[in-house]
Structure 1
């Protein structure tokens, strides 16, 4: 049975809470309704979006960035036990008075179980990654990546309202890790700003939050000569290899390849259709927040047709 939770009067004045975006603040409060008496809950983003935002269709695409923001600021911790992802709210029992707590059901947080603390070696399954190695890699890559993001941030149009840059930077890094050239992202942001200037949108709430713009891969709308358009002239094996590789690395189905597998009139070869649907299914089962769609369009969640 659901329990009544307490929100202290000083919550709105908390400096640490004030550093969160409004969406992350709302999510934090809503998590109070689903965590158990020890401040723990299952952390599948799809499940949380459906339970906490039943009337918001876009929540499933945005909730991962809100969870990232909460975790970065120390308001939640995510961890994995036996393949299942959980979260907890640190110091939960200091802020909630539980007279007769229920029996412990969900596993508790440990540093070893923290999400992201383990790596995956090819063909060998999960193996521990030392914190020393993580720090050395981070130190080697973060300065340059940070400089590139600052350039992106400088080119991005100003907006009226919140525009949290921390989750945007994570999405920027993810796009580069997936194969995007940072200079292409920066140039696309510059073209988006020019369009907003031309339409009189700069400085208004009509400008998309940078995290939304990046998550929905809107840079494809403002690309000059994006790599995904540099395709072989004929639809031979090299053409379909290129289309499939682009989808694997960047999550974009080329418009030159016609309708995506799972949609009417798809003309991709049967083996390509099968592999693309397998990629989509693997992403769905893993709860990965990456959205797969076609160039210039947001992903479409219509039911897939059976592969030939």
Structure 2
């Protein structure tokens, strides 16, 4: 079922968005309307998205999807049964979540088993994988100091995962968490992951465990890049006297 979504004013000047072609931006916005749930899962069906969002436009939908994924705004995830979905990263941070909307999202039903997939995406004649996309692993230029491409690292050592696991505040789904960690560590550093965990701890301090995402979900969604939430400033003690 399609949903009404909102667009923040700073979307139009976002550093990653301005790099996208106009049709890629339109497709990205349209995907928000056709998520399977309020967590940002989208059916991994390019032709269906074409018919839903750009039905009369002569565009290469696969190339547009690859363009969006190469900017790191959408990733492809896979559940324990081998089914794939698209995931709009940080969707919940930018959309109003309506708790009355109940869905039977198949991705949410297997959230503990979701992992980033390495399935290549096509961009014209160029084929790239999520690990090799410029904004995910190679940095802005995609080159090291010696001018060579920085290839993805090997899966993380168990000690790195153990360090992460010891710090993460909710210890459930360890096997799925390890799979997600091995994928995530190719996209960032252990220090960045631990920094994200510390932010998560501060943001969820005093909350019940059920409000803290499972480790696999947190890693798959790239939540280590989350920005601190901004709380409204307390009203000034002078305000009441001023208006008397």
User: TM-score per shorter chain, which class?
Assistant: 0.3 to 0.5
Bigger helix share: 1
Structure 2 length normalisation: TM-score? 0.44
Higher relative contact order, structure no. (Cα contacts within 8 Å, ≥ 6 residues apart): 2
Larger radius of gyration: 1
Structure 1 length normalisation: TM-score? 0.35
